[in-house]
Amino acid sequence: MQRLRSATVEGCGTHMQWLCEANLVDEALRTAALLERSHALGVELWRVDDWGALVEDGITNERLWLQGLRPQINSRFERLLLATHGPILALTRGERATPELLRAFAPPGRRYLSVGGADAAAIVQAAVRLAQDDGGEWIRLAVT
């Protein structure tokens, strides 16, 4: 997982973290720029080359924690996103099942939503809803 873009909106009230598979990077970059201009959403974009490896790392670290060998889970995914803020939006052209497994390893208190089959309209809809909703409605939002 590698950060490709930092939020460029100064004084923006809402920042988001987008996790994006490699084949969606160009579309996500264009959409992030559009949302910053139109909705003042600060978007940081992360490229994910292997969702499964991130999930496996989380499970391995969780197992060590459960065995009492670690004071906390501390997965790579959690460490990378702990220093950031805002909701997390996972974007994939494929099934949401694997990106959805990362929800368990998101930093505490962070909203997380995965979007599968993502086109620009679905990304915009999910990002705006996730950024605006401060309650539990985002949990029911499913974009396929």
pLDDT tens digits for range 98-116: 899 999 899 888 889 888 8
- Which tops the pLDDT comparison, 81 or 122? 81
13 has a pLDDT exceeding 70: no
- Cα distance between residue 73 and residue 105, in whole Å: 8
Running DSSP on this structure, what letter comes out for residue 37?
Answer: H
How many CB atoms sit inside 10 A of residue 88's CB? 23
Running DSSP on this structure, what letter comes out for residue 107?
Answer: P
- Cα distance between residue 53 and residue 87, in whole Å: 22
- According to the model, what pLDDT value does residue 70 have? 84
- According to the model, what pLDDT value does residue 143 have? 40
138 has a pLDDT exceeding 60: no
Q: How confident is the model at residue 139 (pLDDT cuts 50, 70, 90)?
A: very low
pTM for this model (two decimals): 0.81
